[in-house]
Each structure stands twice: as structure tokens, then as C-alpha cells.
Amino acid sequence: MIRTWLLSVLLAAVVTAAPTWLCRVEFENFEDVYAVAATGAKVVMCLDECCLVHAEAEALAGLDAAGFGFELLDAGPQHKEYVYVMPVPEFDRSELARYGRVLTEDRDGVVLATDTEGIFRLTGLPVELAGVGNEEMPLERRSTEPEPLAVPDSLVRELVGRVSDDTLHSMLLRMREFRTRYSTTDSCRSAMEWVRQLFLGYGCDSVHMDTFLSNYAPSCIGVKRGTLYPDEVFVVCGHVDATSEFEHRLTNTPGSEDNASGASAVLELARVMADMRFQKTVWYIGFSGEEQGLHGSDSFARHAMLRGDSIVLSINFDMISYSTTHPDWMEMYGCTDSPPSVTWLDFFLAQADTFTDLQAERIVEGVPARRSDHYSFWKYGFPFIRGGYKDRTPKYHTIGDTIGPPGYVNCGTNNIPMHGEVVKALVATVAKLAGAEPMTGVEEGPERGRTRTEPRLPTVMRAPELARYGGRVFDIHGREVTRSRTGIAPGVYFLRSEQDGRMHAGQKVVVQQ
């Protein structure tokens, strides 16, 4: 019996002869992470005063030689599932042992070894999850700070003035009507399809459904391509998915504050900007899979890094429509590790000051909290800012996260006017950073006004309709088309008209027979 036992121990030792370990490495400040990576250890997640790495014997010796304190947490991490769990402060952390194996913890949360079932059960608790993952964190950071473009304040004021509390309210109500937006449900897929239709209706050049796990609803990305600098991208995002108690999650997750509020901020921005174009590219994103560990944004940001996308800034909102003791207050975060992030944070706060009644508290972190999708952008090297609640709703992650009367405590959303002020600050920020311009085509002549009194024609029309057009028509070679009784051949044409001494040019139409 003892010999069999010894044999199995020996066998185990041989099988794991050169094991990879999941380790916790202590550091003083974030800069130490570069020295940790130099030992050959693969950094997979940064916590407040430590990081999690995959390391083999050589890297462990290197960590030791470099004087880093470390702790072996688990062998063979490549094929296991780990999640970092951040409970609300009142939650008893010892409860978490029922959902997986507790490996280590820090001020903000606990690292658990668990499985898919464990993760679904965790989403029924008042906790935020961030998947630890096996991907190495790239440690390069962008440090460019592009100049904001010149956008007249009069235009910014006009755009800010379009933000409507009623529209926000109706968006919150509509999202609640999906009954559940738990990421793995058909109902969440329907919600994403609804988001797609809105992005299309709001003038996006293209809309893309980003599938990251086959059993999850996709994230939805609306693209408004920049006219002058299409390769510089601003991301504005909020997660659409939601969660509630484990037993209700597949049938009832109203998720009004968390996070119909953040998602509707993105949708309202898109609506307000529907007839604008931008000099730089803007991506509107509704993420899925946030509640199960930031899966949608992690996959999206990782692929953006691999493609070499130039994301100048990502702006994320999560939980922005509830307040109690701090009416009209929200917290706005940036981080020191990504220097442009602080510049952008101050830029956002300046817009909030100038154009809104919002009281935004400025918070600069070292390593950003892993509480929402902004962490994924930071993880893959992109600057971010994010906004969230000052007062947290007691109905967080429950079926009670619904819309209540103004100021009511036991609900999710109770301050839509504050929500509207956040969106106004967002509109002003994006208008200035991405360079909003009215979509009126090229105007020739001394006066560069923005008013356009002439109604726009449809972009696809039939020959007789174009024949009735009062202005001048040019073909794609620039030749003016004389319209005879025989009509106009199918093809692409450009229209030009004069009105009150001003010339409007540039609309393209496709003529069908």
C-alpha cells in the first residue's frame, strides 16, 4: 500500500518535472513589473501591490535573484480557469470559498481557481469579476498626446443641447423590456441586435457584431469613420449585459443602473451625433460578457492590439444613474501608468465644468481597478478614462436594479438628470477630441455657415426622380450630365445646387433603372 502511494508520488513528480506555476509576485510600485517581466516570468494580471505571473524554474530563480518576494499559487495554470473576484465591502469574503479554491487576495479582491459553473454562480453575488486569463500582458504603453482639434464652442453647445433625459429614460425602459440581458441568453442577443439597429439608424458607416465566445451574445461595434485621420480611433463603450441573483439570472435581469445607464450613454451619444461626421474615427461599443469576467472587452482590446490599431483613448461608463447622499456626483478615473490618461481625464473634467452641472470627482489610480471594461484597454496598452457611481445602489446585481422615482433609495436608477449631465460631458468631449463637423458637404463661397435649407435627396434613386432634380448633375468623370427625355443611365452621380447665392456640392447618388 505504501509502495503504491510512493509510486504515485514519484509519477506525479515526473509528470510535473518542469511545471509552470501561477505565482504572486510582490512589488513596491507598478514600474517594478518591467523587472519582473525581464526574468522571463509572463505577467498575466496586475493587482495593487503585486502581479500574477506564469513562471517556470528559470524565471523563479530570476525572481529570487532580483530580490522579489513571490508565492507559488498553483501548478499548470495554462489549462485552468482563474477569476479575480471583487466583492462589495459589506460582503463576507470567506463565502467565496464555496465558489472555488481561494489562491490569494489583496485589498480589492480574491483570486479563485474555479470553473464555468463556478463563474455563473459568482455572477449571482454582489461582486465584480475579471478573468485572469493566460495571455501575457504587453507592457508597452502609448505616450502620445494628440492635440485636440479646433471645434467651435457654438457647435459643441448645440450638440450638448440635444442630449435628452426623455430619450435616456426611454432607452433604459427599452433595455429593461428584454427581461434578461445575461450574456449567455437569446434575450441578450436580441438586446445586442437592437443596439445594432440603433447604431445603423444613427448614421454609423458600418456596424460589426464581435463574437468572442460562441455561447455568449456578441459585443456590438458601431463605426463612424474619420474623414481626415481615420486611423486615430476614439472608443466610447459601456457593457450591455447584466446579471442578478443566480436563480433569476436567465429570466430577470433589469440591470438599469448596471449597466443600461452606461450603455445608453453610448447610444445617446450616437443619436446626438447622427448627422455629424468626425475628423477622427469613433467606435461606439456595447460590450457583452462583462459580468462573467470582462470577456467581451478583453477579446476586443487584445485583437485591437494584435492588429496594431491606434486607439487614442477609450472612454467607459459603468453605473452612472444612481445617487443618494451625493446628488449629481460621479467619480471619474484615469491612471498614472498611462500618462495620456490623466491628460484626457482633465480634458473631460474641463468639458464637464464648461458645459454641464455635473460634479465629477477626479481620481487618479496607479494600476486601475479591475471593475469594468476599461481594465481590458489598459491591460493591452491603450489609454482610458472611466466614469462610475459615487453612491452605489443597494440593488446592485439583483432583480431590484430597476428605475425608481427620483431620489428613491431601493432601486437602480434614481437620478436621470445626473445621467443626462454625464452624457452632455461625454458629447462635448467626443465632439472636441474626434473633431465633429456638420455633414453638409463642401460649401463654396465666402460664407461658411452650417445651415442647410435644402432637403437632402435619398442616396439611391431612380432615373425619373433624378431627372426632376433642379440642380446640376455630374458623372463620376466630372462631366455635366444633360438630361434628355431618354433619361439617365444607371450609375453614380454627383449633385450640385445653388441657393441664395451659396453653392452646395458633393452629394453622391446612385441611380437605379
- How does DSSP classify residue 78? G
3-state secondary structure 172-241: HHHHHCCCCCCCCCHHHHHHHHHHHHHHHHCCCCEEEEECCCCCCCCEEEEEECCCCEEEEEEEEEEECC
Least distance in angstroms from the C-beta of 128 to Zn ion: 7
Give the phi and the psi of residue 443 in degrees, each rounded to 5: -115, 125
Q: Give the shortest CB-364-to-Zn ion separation in angstroms.
A: 21
Nearest distance from C-beta of residue 15 to Zn ion, angstroms: 41
Residue 372 beta carbon to Zn ion: minimum distance, rounded to whole angstroms: 6
189 versus 397: smaller Cβ distance to Zn ion: 397
**Closest to Zn ion by CB, 172 or 204:** 172
Which residues of the chain form contacts with Zn ion (CB under 5 A)? 258-259, 318
Rounded CA separation 379/126 (Å) = 24
With respect to Zn ion, which residue has the nearer C-beta, 181 or 224? 181
Total Cβ atoms within 10 A of residue 110: 21
Return the number of the residue (54 or 390) whose C-beta is nearest Zn ion: 390
Pair type for strands 329-335 and 359-365: parallel
Q: Helices 416-434 and 165-176: crossing angle, nearest 10°?
A: 110
Contact (CB, 8 A) for 122 and 85: yes
Q: In whole angstroms, what is the distance from residue 284 CA to residue 434 CA?
A: 12
Q: Which is nearer to Zn ion, 114 or 123 (CB)?
A: 123
Nearer to Zn ion, 301 or 342 (CB): 301
- The least distance separating Zn ion from the CB of residue 304, rounded to whole angstroms, comes to 21
Torsion, Cα 41 47 48 49, to 10 degrees, reads -30
Least distance from Zn ion to the Cβ atom of residue 10, Å = 49
- Closest approach of Cβ 294 to Zn ion, in Å? 10
Going by their DSSP bridges, the two strands 329-335 and 280-287 should be labelled as unpaired
Amino acid at 304: A
Distance, CA of 280 to CA of 435 (rounded, Å): 7
- Look up residue 59 and give its three cell numbers: 524565471
Least gap, CB of 298 to Zn ion (angstroms) = 15
Which residue, 139 or 363, is less far from Zn ion as judged by CB? Answer: 363
**Distance from C-alpha of 122 to C-alpha of 138, rounded to nearest angstrom:** 28
- Whichever of 259 and 402 has its CB closer to Zn ion, that residue is 259
